């Protein structure tokens, strides 16, 4: 009779097997998502033969090089080309015309402080974000304007700067604008209504 061996893996062996299997799956998943991480440059080995030209024309072109009668003359011509400065373009100067300073216009008696930005016009807007720093808000405004949409920065309480795209006359057109911006910029905003002052 033969004896049966009832061998069981220990807890440490189970953990090791799971870790190895997880690492293998992670490497396979990474290779599937970002295959460029696993591409390595091809280096020529020292013992490899050079690449063979593909056509007879390449072989003939390599064998028949244009003769250089005097190598020093060729070098002089090359350096002369490099040293020759480009031709300067001379434009005729225009006569200077002195302008008389304009008379200063009287300032209005009640000037609003320059630090207070004006509120956006009435209408429906798509709010794309609110930033504590004005330069970040201006960056998003510039990005929206680059895509062809009008955008404004609306001051909010607490020092926030809300970025609004619009205005639109009705909520439906503001929602269409919201979907168009989401499609192009991959940023979802929400529709807000600005009432007139």
Domain holding 156: CATH number? 3.30.70.1070
Low-confidence ranges of the chain (pLDDT < 70): 1-5, 7, 40-119, 197
Is residue 160 in a domain? yes
Would 44 be classed as within a structural domain?
no
Give CA separation, 94 vs 46, 97, 166, 194, in Å: 67, 9, 45, 52
Measured CA to CA, the distance from residue 185 to residue 151 in angstroms comes to 14
Structure tokens at 29: 């998943």
* Domain count for the chain: 1
Distance CA 147, CA 143 (A): 7
Q: Dihedral sign, CA of 168, 171, 176, 177?
A: positive
Structure tokens at 168: 């639109």
**DSSP count for the chain of H helices, then E strands:** 5, 4
Predicted local distance difference test score (pLDDT) of residue 187: 86
Residue 77 lies in a domain: no
Closest CA to 118 of 143, 152, 148: 152
Give the tens place of pLDDT for each residue, 142-159.
999 999 999 999 998 899
What pLDDT, on the 0 to 100 scale, is given for residue 81?
54
In a domain, residue 109? The reply is no
- pLDDT value at position 111? 42
Domain contains 185: yes
Residue 130 within a domain = yes
Contact of 134 with 153, CB cutoff 8 Å:
yes
Q: For residue 48, tell me if it sits in a domain.
A: no
H runs (alpha helix) in 53-157: 56-63, 71-83, 134-146
Asked whether residue 17 is assigned to any structural domain, the reply reads no
For position 2, what pLDDT does the model report? Answer: 64
The residue segments making up the domain with residue 166 are: 123-194
């Amino acid at each position: 009779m033969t004896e049966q061996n009832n061998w069981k893996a220990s807890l440490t062996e189970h953990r090791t097997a799971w870790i190895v299997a997880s690492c293998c799956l992670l490497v396979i998943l990474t290779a599937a998502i970002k295959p460029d991480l696993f591409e390595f440059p091809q280096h020529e080995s020292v013992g490899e033969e050079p690449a063979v030209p593909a056509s007879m024309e390449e072989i003939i072109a390599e064998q028949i090089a244009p003769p250089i009668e005097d190598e020093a003359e060729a070098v002089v011509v090359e350096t002369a080309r490099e040293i020759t400065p480009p031709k300067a373009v001379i434009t005729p100067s225009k006569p200077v015309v002195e302008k008389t300073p304009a008379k200063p216009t009287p300032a209005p008696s009640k000037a609003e402080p320059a630090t207070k930005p004006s509120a956006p016009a009435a209408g429906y807007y798509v709010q794309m974000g609110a930033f504590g720093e004005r330069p970040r808000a201006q960056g998003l405004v510039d990005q929206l304007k680059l895509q062809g949409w009008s955008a404004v920065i609306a001051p909010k309480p607490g020092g926030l700067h809300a970025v609004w795209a619009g205005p639109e006359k009705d909520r439906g057109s503001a929602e269409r604008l919201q979907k168009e911006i989401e499609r192009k910029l991959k940023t979802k905003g929400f529709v807000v209504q600005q009432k007139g002052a």
